[in-house]
Amino acid sequence: MIPFQILPIFMFSLDFVSAAKINITSPHLTNWGRWGSLQRCPSETYAQGFQLKTERYLYIDGDDTALNSIKLFCGDPTKQGTPSITSTEGFFGVWGKVHTCFPGFLTGFQLRVMPNAKGCGDGDNFAATNIRFFCTNGELEGDGINLGNWGQAKYCGRNQSICGIQTQVEAVQAKLDDTSLNNVLMECCDVPPTAPLIEWKPEDEQDYSSQPLT
């Protein structure tokens, strides 16, 4: 007969074993184009910087597209070999400055959008014009163009970081109006407790969504 044994009971904290992922999406103030594929950071890496591809403002004589693509750096952006991810890339513009919040993590974002051609003078639609990211150690505003309204800010959950990106981009319209990047979805992943995470408090952040069109 096998002797009766008392098996040990292991207790785990849900804060440490949770592997939930959530998606946060920009408000659909414009809705042109198709969604690209969701691109994720390599396992156990998280977004710690970004770079924008932007077409400079052409004023009254051109077809402006402004923001064309967003690249996320899954680690220290200043370190050679750091992996980066991007979803669909718009055709127009050039890549700008690399923005880093290392050793912090990207924990939320806010997209700036010119929702329609009102106020542009020539009836040209822009769609997304810039983006700002919220970090565990502050905030970073991209080097897009200063037109449009800031939409509602979106945040990851507690102890989470952005770890994936998916973008809605309109293809080149030839002789019609181009807009390029319209919306963005970010995937959020749990950050392990050993990471140097400083809790970010969204309620302390200013609400930019009601600012007038500039």
Cα(154)–Cα(205) distance, integer angstroms: 11
Mean pLDDT within 190-204: 57
Q: Quick one: what percent of the chain has pLDDT higher than 90?
A: 50
Mean pLDDT within 78-101: 91
Q: Which domains does the chain have, with CATH numbers?
A: 21-200 (2.100.10.20)
Q: For the beta carbon of residue 213, count every other beta carbon within 10 angstroms.
A: 10
pTM for the whole thing?
Answer: 0.76
Mean pLDDT within 52-75: 82
Residue 103: is the preceding peptide bond cis (ω within 30°)?
yes
Mean pLDDT within 103-130: 79
The confidence score (pLDDT) of residue 116 equals: 67
